[in-house]
Amino acid sequence: MSSPVLSLRGIGKRFGAVQALSDVDFDVHRGEVVALVGDNGAGKSTLVKIISGVYGADTGTIEIDGRRVSLTGPKSAQALGIATVFQDLALADNLDVVANLFLGQEITARGVLAEERMESRSWELLRQLSAKIPSVRVPIAALSGGQRQTVAIARSLVGDPKVVLLDEPTAALGVAQTAEVLNLIDRLRQSGLGVVVISHNMADVQAVADRIHVLRLGRNAAEFHIDDVTTDQLVAAITGASDDVVAERRARETRKETP
Amino acid sequence: MTFTDRTDERLVQDSSPRALLQNLVHRLRSGDLGMIPVVTGLLVIWGVFYAMNPRFLSSRNLVELSLDSATIGMISVGIVLVLLLGEIDLSVGSVSGLSGATLAVLLVYQGWPLLGSILAALCAGLLIGLFYGLMHTRFGVPSFVITLAGLLAFLGAQLQVLGRNGTVNLPGSSKLIDFANFTFLPDWASYLLAVAVGLAYLATRVLTLRRRAAANLSAPSLRSVVVRAVLLTAAVAGVAWYLNIDRGIGAMPLLWVGVIITMDFLLRRTTWGRHVYAVGGNEEAARRAGVAVDRIYVSVFALCSMFAALGGVLAAGRLQAVSQTSGGTDTNLMAIAAAVIGGTSLFGGRGSVYSALFGMLVLQSITSGLNLVGVDAYVRYMVTGAVLLLAVTIDSLSRRARKSSGSG
């Protein structure tokens, strides 16, 4: 496989007495969807915040396209081609779609907002995602949950990123909207981006990911290719113990089948 | 040909007058009220006072109304800015008083030139605003508390600056007094202004039309733009004609409206303005999007206090003196009430600088009308309080309507 577009080695992060992450390795390639899974407190959010530049890592190195970089803040991560869609989407309800897409990176001409150029570019981005938004001049508040997710994902594409991080993109969505967002993720992969999806939902993860990276208690627990993993294996890797109820029942069933 | 932004089949394509009317009704139902309540209120108030005393709508009274509105109205422009961020400035009255006192003392006792005194007074306001902004962004002190402290502290500073005498009369020949009381546009200039306003509107709209056409986006027809420009010119010319029966369009109200138009442009058409609305709508989202949130706060607080100082300077000119009660009593509440009555939301992120214009006209009309009818001051306070309560209720209700119609 080609060299990874984003590569983390030996990442460690400590909050006071809590070692949130220790010695975590993580790779993403172009045109690949990597799911980052793990239980609550496994360190997923911390890792995402390190990749998106919100936190600095205490130890370890981050490479983008094989070049070692230091992420000093969300802006520097963005400038290096890492776009993040946070779980709460971080959209301004009172502004319209165009204003939200270009928030913080407005296009101006002679000091004045170039509304027409931004509006045209908005339509391009939404077409690229085959998104169904009737008008880009309605305030975000008037959009459905799935449409807001679409806008948030489209916004991550404004700066032509290399890697897109999606934090729980389907958490609050209905069935149809979830399918729509999964399609969007697939389109991101097709356009050659590295995609990282953080999710609790095993069905979604298995539907869209190429690789699954499991974190447990702040460490690399396992890594699976999508073709050779079962839900049971995933759950076992996430919970980590072979002595929990799920593993026990499976063991019992295996014993029954092979007396 | 289909425009890029008109391809979705769910869009209502009808643009007949009937459809436009339905559109308007729909907007009102969903809580997108804009300037409609305040303009309606203004017309009702004018109608009522005209019925009680026809002199209320006389040219003379309206000219007086425009002069009286401009001082506190200028302060209200700054209040709109802080309200857009979802913050508040309770100290604008004290700041305007301190700025007036600074101006008067420098001009009369220290013998400074007028322009230097005005600049010093404005700088005092700017510094106070910078201080508020830094207190808010560095230490996270709520603006309510900072400015409440400022309300007291700068009232004290005003008394100290004024010293023992308490009242400083500006020299009667001062240009400031002349500007605030006796400077009016000549008739021909007021009509020229009307034409210039119409042409400026036409030019900007036609440029927008061209750019939208070039980008293959839908645009209103050229005819509708021309019609609007003509109506705008006619409206300004009509106002000018009516005010010209008496003294005409005053320089101070003109400055006030000019400031409002400028601020509206900055808010709607520049990155800074876009960021003000974004911070007011969702501060965390703005921060994550890379907006320099702290800078927005500091700039808005600084501007607000500077407009308060400017209002204080104009009030000094209008009243021809600065006293211990300058900027006191109801200046604060009038400035804040005007912004809210004008339709700027107390919850942040929604509103327009024009609410300072219309809100102030409403309040000043009530004051002027009640004076004309000859009722006591206590009635005015009660009526003003009731109008303010009504405006905030409309704001809260429309917020609820926006929520329930999914746009809010």
Q: Cα torsion for B279, B282, B287, B289, to the nearest 10°? A: -110
Q: Which residues of B374-397 are buried (b: 16+ CB within 10 A; e: fewer)?
A: eeeeeebeebbeebbeebeebbee
Beta bridge partners of A195: A33, A164
> Would you state the structure tokens that stand for residue B260, as one six-digit string?
């409002």
Q: Do A92 and B286 touch (CB under 8 A)?
A: yes
Could you count the other beta carbons within 10 Å of the beta carbon of residue A193?
A: 24
Q: Do A104 and B215 touch (CB under 8 A)?
A: no
CA distance B276 to chain A (A): 11
Q: How distant, in Å, are the alpha carbons of B97, B108, B164, B252, B314 from that of B170? A: 15, 7, 17, 17, 12
Q: Does B376 touch chain A (CB under 8 A)?
A: no
> Would you state the structure tokens that stand for residue B365, as one six-digit string?
């009309």
Whether B175 is in a domain gets the answer yes
Of A21 and B267, which is predicted with more confidence?
B267
Q: How distant, in Å, are the alpha carbons of B76, B186, B252, B313, B317 from that of B176? A: 21, 19, 10, 8, 5
Residue B354: what pLDDT?
Answer: 95
pLDDT digits (tens, 9 = 90+) for B229-242: 999 999 999 999 99
> Would you state the structure tokens that stand for residue B187, as one six-digit string?
């008739």
CA distance B236 to chain A (A): 27
Q: Are residues B395 and B294 in the same domain?
A: yes
SS3 A145: helix
Q: Are residues B178 and B188 in the same domain?
A: no
> Would you state the structure tokens that stand for residue B403, as one six-digit string?
């929520």
What's the whole-number mean pLDDT along residues B5-27? Answer: 67
Q: Cα torsion for B122, B125, B127, B132, to the nearest 10°? A: -160
Q: Do B281 and A75 touch (CB under 8 A)?
A: no
Q: Does B269 touch chain A (CB under 8 A)?
A: yes
Contacts of B275 in chain A (CB under 8 A): 103
Contacts of B2 in chain A (CB under 8 A): none
Phi, psi of B392 (to 5 degrees): -70, -35
Q: Is the pLDDT of residue B310 over 90?
A: yes
Domain final residue pick, B249, B281, B306: B249
Whether B264 is in a domain gets the answer no
- Please report where in the chains the tokens 């560095």 appear, as a residue: B138
The CA distance from A110 to A255, in Å, is: 75
Residue B295: what pLDDT?
Answer: 96
Q: Is the pLDDT of residue B73 over 90?
A: yes
> Would you state the structure tokens that stand for residue A110, as one six-digit string?
């002679």
Residue A71: what pLDDT?
Answer: 85
The CA distance from A124 to B114, in Å, is: 56
Q: Are residues B289 and B315 in the same domain?
A: yes
pLDDT digits (tens, 9 = 90+) for A49-91: 899 888 888 899 999 988 898 888 878 888 889 988 888 778 9
Which domain does B293 fall in, by range? Answer: 53-183+271-404
The CA distance from A79 to A76, in Å, is: 5
Contacts of A90 in chain B (CB under 8 A): 282, 284-285, 288-289
Whether B22 is in a domain gets the answer no
The CA distance from B366 to A84, in Å, is: 53
Interface probe with B: pick from A94, A96, A150, A158, most Cβ of B within 10 Å: A94
Contact (Cβ atoms closer than 8 angstroms) between residue A180 and residue A150: yes
Whether B256 is in a domain gets the answer no
Helices within B53-113 (DSSP H only): 59-84, 92-104
Helices within B184-270 (DSSP H only): 187-214, 222-245, 251-269
Interface probe with B: pick from A116, A126, A132, most Cβ of B within 10 Å: A116
Q: Do A139 and B407 touch (CB under 8 A)?
A: yes
CATH number at B383 reads: 1.10.3470
Residue A180: what pLDDT?
Answer: 84
Q: Is the pLDDT of residue A245 over 80?
A: no
Q: Do B285 and A91 touch (CB under 8 A)?
A: yes
The CA distance from B344 to A79, in Å, is: 36
Q: At what angle do helices A115-128 and A145-156 cross, to 10 degrees?
A: 110
Q: Are residues B130 and B57 in the same domain?
A: yes
Residue A86: what pLDDT?
Answer: 84
Q: Are residues B301 and B356 in the same domain?
A: yes
Q: How many domains does chain B have?
A: 2
Q: Does B408 touch chain A (CB under 8 A)?
A: yes
Q: Are residues B149 and B193 in the same domain?
A: no
CB pairs under 8 A between A and B: 98
Q: Which residues of A touch B (CB under 8 A)?
A: 74-75, 78, 86, 88-95, 99, 103-106, 108, 111-113, 116-117, 119-120, 123, 132-139, 141-142
Q: Are residues B190 and B178 in the same domain?
A: no
The alpha carbons of chain A give a radius of gyration, in whole angstroms, of 20
DSSP letter at A96?
B
Q: Does B1 touch chain A (CB under 8 A)?
A: no
CA distance A134 to chain B (A): 5
pLDDT digits (tens, 9 = 90+) for A163-198: 999 988 888 777 888 888 888 899 889 988 999 999
Q: How far is CA A7 from the centre of its chain?
A: 15
With a cut of 0.90, is the ipTM above it? no
Domain parsing of chain A, residue ranges: 6-228
- Among A103, A123, A133, select the one facing B291 at the smallest CB separation: A103
Q: Are residues B169 and B204 in the same domain?
A: no
The CA distance from A133 to A147, in Å, is: 7
CA distance A158 to chain B (A): 12
CA distance B266 to chain A (A): 9
Residue A205: what pLDDT?
Answer: 86
Q: What chain A residue is nearest to B291 in terms of C-alpha separation?
A: A104
Q: Are residues B293 and B366 in the same domain?
A: yes
Q: Does B12 touch chain A (CB under 8 A)?
A: no
Q: How distant, in Å, are the alpha carbons of A89, A159, B171, B225 from that of A97? A: 13, 16, 55, 25
Quick one: fold of A6-228?
Answer: Rossmann fold (3.40.50)
- Among B10, B216, B278, select the one facing A92 at the smallest CB separation: B278
Closest CA to B328 of B182, B169, B166: B166
Q: Are residues B179 and B61 in the same domain?
A: yes
Q: Is the pLDDT of residue B408 over 50?
A: no
Phi, psi of A249 (to 5 degrees): -60, -40
DSSP letter at B296?
H
- Among B5, B271, B278, select the one facing A123 at the smallest CB separation: B5
Q: Are residues B275 and B398 in the same domain?
A: yes
Q: Is the pLDDT of residue B51 over 80?
A: yes
Residue A206: what pLDDT?
Answer: 87
Q: What chain A residue is nearest to B210 in terms of C-alpha separation?
A: A116
CA distance A37 to chain B (A): 24
**Residue type, position A250, single letter:** R
Residue B158: what pLDDT?
Answer: 94
CA distance B141 to chain A (A): 24
Q: What chain B residue is nearest to A134 in terms of C-alpha separation?
A: B8
Lowest mean pLDDT, pick from B189-198, B209-218, B330-339, B392-401: B392-401
Contact (Cβ atoms closer than 8 angstroms) between residue A145 and residue A171: no
- Among B212, B217, B290, select the one facing A74 at the smallest CB separation: B290
What's the whole-number mean pLDDT along residues A19-35? Answer: 90
The CA distance from B251 to B185, in Å, is: 7
Beta bridge partners of B169: B321
Q: How distant, in Å, are the alpha carbons of A24, B36, B37, B368, B384 from that of B387? A: 62, 15, 11, 15, 5
Residue B10: what pLDDT?
Answer: 63
Which string of DSSP letters, residue by residue, matches B219-231? ---HHHHHHHHHH
The CA distance from B206 to B41, in Å, is: 33
Residue A130: what pLDDT?
Answer: 78
> Would you state the structure tokens that stand for residue B399, as one six-digit string?
């917020």
Contacts of B349 in chain A (CB under 8 A): 92-94
Q: Are residues B208 and B302 in the same domain?
A: no
> Would you state the structure tokens that stand for residue A155, as one six-digit string?
């916004």
Lowest mean pLDDT, pick from A121-125, B32-36, B53-57: B32-36
- Among B11, B271, B280, select the one facing A106 at the smallest CB separation: B271
Q: Do A141 and B290 touch (CB under 8 A)?
A: no
**Residue type, position B7, single letter:** T
Mean pLDDT of chain B: 90
> Would you state the structure tokens that stand for residue A162, as one six-digit string?
């290399």
Q: Is the pLDDT of residue B169 over 80?
A: yes
